[in-house]
Amino acid sequence: MNLNGVLLLNKPRGMTSHDCVMKLRRFLGTKKVGHTGTLDPDVDGVLPICVGSATKLVQFLTAETKEYIGEVTVGFSTTTEDATGEVVERQPVTKVLSKVDIESTLTSMLGISCQTPPMYSAVKVKGKKLYEYARAGLEVERPVREVTIHELELLDDISYVEDCVTFKFRVLGSKGIFIRTVAVTIGEKLGYPAHMSDLTRVASGSFKLENCVTLEQVEAGEFQLLSIGEALTNFPTVRVDHWVEKLIRNGVKLRPEQITPAMKEGLFLTCNQAGIPLAIYEWSEAKGEYVSVRGLW
């Protein structure tokens, strides 16, 4: 079975993204399987998987925006910033947190901000993942990253359980954002320690949860792969003639007049006259030419 394309997987909880790749290699009968960005073991939801020749797309499918449905528990924080960690600080919620208070807090977090990745994360520092340092009991300086929260809203009623307050939220954030840290920040702004108690990724770029399949469905053969062209529908596309196609297949730089309309900003997809994807190109201002970033044949 020769499979090439993108599988939209609904990653289950209790498995790492790598665990899913290993299972899919067995189910699909190929070693050429790669995921497009990790999801924590306790998080489920959208995980695009590249299969066969589509593994060439991995670097291009790490979406700029991702959407999540999360839950924050206000009242105590943990070492991992989620429900799996040990309690670090506990402060009973003694005042009523109104819907207005919470919605005002969420609105105040919209836009660009700086995040420090959790120690229990896969971010690398000096060649090692932060969680490796954390498990060894070592604290290291973590790189601060700029992230953007495009949308952040309260989803349902506020629940009071013992001395804690819990509520769900929806967030649309930029690439690299940590929703665990978003939950912690919500608590800080409300005046209490907090952690993320639940999380599901419902969209990665244009890929939605309702279009995903489970591992069980894949094992039973109940799935379809997106073609390379279908997976790249968000990319600007230029169709080229037969002669330019030959140049592209040889990885040749293209002159401005060979790409119509002009594509001077960002990556774009080139296709032949039949609509078959050829390569991803971008404009080089320094060279005054279009350069090939990745061939797709």
Burial class (CB in 10 A: 0-12, 13-18, 19+), 137: exposed
Give 218-222's long-range contacts (Cβ < 8 A, gap of 24+).
Answer: 218/7, 218/9, 218/24, 218/27, 218/28, 219/27
pLDDT reported for residue 125: 67
* CB 34, CB 193: distance < 8 Å: no
Cα–Cα distance between 168 and 102 in angstroms, integer? 11
Q: Measured between alpha carbons, how far is 9 from 49 in angstroms, rounded to an integer? A: 7
Average pLDDT of every residue of the chain: 91
Phi, psi angle pair for 146, to nearest 5°: -90, 130
Domains of the chain: 5-63+206-227 (3.30.2350.10), 66-199 (3.30.2350.10), 237-295 (2.30.130.10)
- Cα 145 to the chain's mean position, in Å? 15
**pLDDT above 90 covers what percent of the chain?**
75
| pLDDT (tens digit per residue) in 136-195 | 777 777 778 889 999 999 997 899 988 999 999 999 999 889 899 999 999 999 999 999
Q: Is the pTM of the predicted complex or chain greater than 0.85?
A: yes
Judge whether residue 295 has pLDDT over 70. yes
For residues 72 and 36, what is the distance between their CA atoms, to the nearest angstrom?
A: 26
- Lowest-confidence pick of 74-78, 143-147, 222-226: 143-147
Which residues form the catalytic set? Answer: 40
Give me 80's structure tokens.
């991992």
d(CA 65, CA 49): 17
Between CA 297 and CA 293 the distance in angstroms is 13
Sheet holding 237-239, edge to edge: 237-239, 267-271, 277-284, 289-295
Which amino acid is it at 290? Y
Length of the chain equals 297
Cα 16 to chain centroid distance, Å, stands at 14
Q: Please say whether the beta carbons of 5 and 52 come within 8 A.
A: yes
The string of pLDDT tens digits covering residues 88-112 is: 899 999 989 999 999 999 999 999 9
